[in-house]
Structure 1
Amino acid sequence: MKRLTDHLIVISFDCLSALDYPILKELPHFRELLGRGSYCKQVETIYPSVTYPCHATIVTGKYPNRHGVVNNTLLQPGRDSPDWHWYRKSIRGTTLYDEAKKAGMTTAALLWPVTAKADIDYNMPEIFANRPWHNQILVSLLNGSPLYQLQMNRLFGGIRSGLNQPELDDFVLESTVETIKRKPGLLLVHFTDLDTQRHYHGFSSEEAKKALRRHDERLGRIMKALKENDMYEETTIVALGDHSALDESMAVQFNILLKEKGMITVNGRGKISKWKAYCKGCDGSAYVYTKDDKATKEVKRLLEELQPDPSNGIESFLTGEEAAEKGADGHCAFMLEARPGFYFKDALEGSFIHTITPEDVRKKRYTYGSHGYSPEKEGYFTIFMAAGKGIRPHQDLTSMRLVDEGPTFATLLGLSLGDTDGKPIEAILDI
């Protein structure tokens, strides 16, 4: 297969929405990208539309139930802070970076989800210190490229302030600019500033708008680095979002009802000792897992009783089979969708419906904005922009899907991802 570009840079601006397009087209660097490239401002995300499944989809072209990353976090009932799908082993089958490496390309990934211990030349994985005895820098070093990360931390570590934004993205930006000097064939970059601001301040908050402007400056710095390293004309630049978001003010805490019904048992320390049914939140949606048919029937009766009342926050629910048809985890008994203004939490204490207070958000117990909702929610689209070598300019696509991005990237690099759910968007490719 003919390769259409020398270098592919995929920049994921987490939580970038189609609704941001009127702002983006007025910002200088996004305007430059849009002016010389092609775009789609109606990209259908996946279900559940949370970050880790989305990013696994972007590099595989598959829906979550096929690539295996069906949620951000693992099903670990009772653990205060569940582990995430940090590791490459969570993804079934091949990925874009695997195929690029096999083809002899230099690969790099900066905070790209689900890449811990991946075979990537310059790998700074997104992984958190999730145990009291863990050290953040050491955890990152052991799960990525140690010497590369040590160098980035030595050069730019002073910029970072733990996982706080915008400092974390500023650190990632400086590391990206430095990594471009190594001229990788494939570079994957994940920025989370906008997502953070929308979670804690709301979708259309001034903080979110400032994050968009900071992202424009970051895009500009990356373009400038490509020009300074004589790569600009030989590179395809892609800027994309993984999902949109919705404002919320109420949390549905379904496990509290399951506990009251005797389907979750807690010990004296408030930890789960056993369970027959458990609600695993994906923010705007949630999986319910059950241990047996009796529990499944009991949960179904409960959901049928709750769903008609709008104040209970449950818009609809699917069976496991119906969830699988939409690309979600078919091993669940049910998948719940939140009404607008609501999202799901895994809490075991408090009230079934919790009204979120400013104190809740200040202490980061709850949020003001969420994703994870069904892609069928009205206006809930993300966005895709591409320019440079291998891209036909001035194509305004009416629609595409997140699963189409991986096959499109593979075609640009002369690779194949095999049996995917998406297909290359040939209308934008200079074939």
Structure 2
Amino acid sequence: MSRLTNHLVVISFDCLSSLDFPLLEQLPHFNKLLDQGSYCKKVETIYPSVTYPCHTSIVTGRYPKNHGIVNNTLTQPGKASPDWYWHRKHIKGTTLYDEAKKAGMTTGALLWPVTARANIDYNMPEIFANRKWHHQIPVSLLNGSKRYQLDLNRRFGHVRNGLNQPELDDFVLESTIHTIKTKKPQLLLVHFVDLDSQRHYHGFSSDEAMDAIKRHDNRLGRIVESLQEAGIYEETTIAVLGDHSALDESKAIKLNVLLKEHGLIDTDSKGAIQNWIAYCKSCDGSAYIYLKDSSDLQTKEVVKKLLDHLLIDERNGIEKIYSQEQAAATGADDQCAFMVEARRGFYFNEEHQGSFLNNITDQDVREKRFTHACHGYSPKKEDYTTILLLAGKGIQRNVVVPSMHLIDEGPTFAKLLGLDLGETDGKVVQDFLTS
């Protein structure tokens, strides 16, 4: 399969929404990209619409049930900070970067989710120290390209302030620019989280979120400039995308409180989970209900009655209940017993103590117990789509694709690089491409 481009740079601005499009049109670097390339401002995300499943769908063209990354974090009841799906080993099947590597291309990834210990030439994976005895730098080094990361930390470590934003994205930006100029990878995946963080802790339309978009515009401009300085701009395709949108919320639903009250979760004298029969695993705007024994039909019926009862009163915050089969039909985890969707203004939390519903205060958010906005909701929610902008080699100019799916991005990127992702759920969006 022939290539349409020599270099592909995929820039993910986490939580960039279709609702942001009017602002993007006013910002110089986004506007220039729109003028020189093509776009879709109505990209339907996947379910659950959280970062790790989304980014895996982007590089595989598959739904979560098929690529295996069904949530951000693993189901580990009782663990205060569950581990994330950090590692490439969790992904079923191939990825864009695997196929690029097989084809002899140089590859790079900067904080791209689910790339720890992936076969990527220049890899700084998104992974953090999740135990008291862990330290961030060794954890990153052990799971990515050691010399590459050491060099980036030596050069730009002073820019970073732990995991805080916007400093973390500023560090990623400097690392991206340096990588483009010195390594010139043929596939580069970059993940920026500034906007997502601001929306979580300040609200969807907050001044802080709008400022983050403006910072992203500057970041985009600097990346384009680095491609020009590296002498590869004319041979490069730039893809700018979001993974999901977000919705403001003011109430947290704690289904595990009810499961505990019904004897389905046991705790010790200190309140720690000792055992569970059924468990609510949050995906923020949605949640899975898992049974420890999937063949336990009696418990399944108890949980169903509990959920059906909650559905009657809108004040409980439940909008829809999916059976296992219905959840699988959306592309979500086919191993869950149920999946539940929150109403606007609500989201799910895994706490198993206190009241079933929590009104969220500013202090809760400052203490990072809850958030002011989140994602994870159904892709069918109104005004909940994201965007894709494409420009450069192999891309038509001034084509507007009215709608597409997140799972179409991987096959389209593969076609640009002359690669084949095999069996995918998405398809190539041919209208974007020059041939």
2:355 pairs, out of 347, 351, 363, with: 351
Give how far 1:142 is off.
0.3
Give how far 1:293 is off.
1.1
Q: Which amino acid aligns with 1:45?
A: T
Alignment match, 2:249: 248
Alignment match, 1:97: 97
Q: How does 1:102-117 map to 2 (within 5 A)?
A: 102-117=102-117
Alignment match, 1:157: 157
Q: Which amino acid aligns with 2:410?
A: G
Name the CA distance, whole Å, in 2 between partners of 1:307 and 1:161: 44
Give how far 1:349 is off.
1.2
Give how far 1:377 is off.
0.4
Q: How does 1:254-269 map to 2 (within 5 A)?
A: 254-269=255-270
Alignment match, 1:382: 386
Alignment match, 1:270: 271
Name the CA distance, whole Å, in 2 between partners of 1:261 and 1:306: 14
Name the CA distance, whole Å, in 2 between partners of 1:27 and 1:60: 31
Secondary structure of the structure 1 residue equivalent to 2:380: coil
1:301 pairs, out of 302, 305, 330, with: 305
Secondary structure of the structure 2 residue equivalent to 1:397: coil
Give how far 1:132 is off.
0.4
Secondary structure of the structure 2 residue equivalent to 1:49: coil
Alignment match, 2:208: 207
Alignment match, 1:218: 219
Q: Which amino acid aligns with 2:179?
A: T
Q: Which amino acid aligns with 1:92?
A: K
Name the CA distance, whole Å, in 2 between partners of 1:66 and 1:21: 31
Give how far 1:155 is off.
0.1
Deviations 1:64-107 (A, max 9, x none): 00000000000111111000000000100000000000000000
Name the CA distance, whole Å, in 2 between partners of 1:32 and 1:271: 54
Alignment match, 1:86: 86
Give how far 1:401 is off.
0.2
Q: Which amino acid aligns with 1:194?
A: L
Q: How does 1:1-400 map to 2 (within 5 A)?
A: 1-181=1-181, 182-290=183-291, 291=293, 292-400=296-404
TM-score by length of 2: 0.99
Name the CA distance, whole Å, in 2 between partners of 1:269 and 1:410: 52
Name the CA distance, whole Å, in 2 between partners of 1:129 and 1:268: 29
Name the CA distance, whole Å, in 2 between partners of 1:333 and 1:102: 38
Q: Which amino acid aligns with 2:41?
A: K
Alignment match, 2:415: 411
Secondary structure of the structure 1 residue equivalent to 2:26: coil
Name the CA distance, whole Å, in 2 between partners of 1:385 and 1:58: 14
Name the CA distance, whole Å, in 2 between partners of 1:80 and 1:98: 33
The CA RMSD measured in Å over matched residues stands at 0.5
Name the CA distance, whole Å, in 2 between partners of 1:24 and 1:86: 31
Give how far 1:131 is off.
0.5
> 4+ runs of 1 displaced by more than 3 Å?
none
| Runs of 5+ consecutive residues of structure 1 not aligned to the other structure | none
Name the CA distance, whole Å, in 1 between partners of 2:158 and 2:235: 33
Give how far 1:269 is off.
2.4
Indicate the percent of aligned positions where both proteins have the same amino acid.
66
Secondary structure of the structure 1 residue equivalent to 2:312: coil
Secondary structure of the structure 2 residue equivalent to 1:373: coil
* Matched residues, number: 431
Q: Which amino acid aligns with 1:325?
A: A
Secondary structure of the structure 2 residue equivalent to 1:307: helix
Name the CA distance, whole Å, in 1 between partners of 2:354 and 2:203: 24
Q: Which amino acid aligns with 1:88?
A: R
Q: Which amino acid aligns with 1:250?
A: K
| Runs of 5+ consecutive residues of structure 2 not aligned to the other structure | none
Secondary structure of the structure 2 residue equivalent to 1:396: coil
Name the CA distance, whole Å, in 2 between partners of 1:407 and 1:363: 41
Secondary structure of the structure 2 residue equivalent to 1:75: coil
Secondary structure of the structure 1 residue equivalent to 2:123: strand
Secondary structure of the structure 2 residue equivalent to 1:348: coil
TM-score by length of 1: 1.00
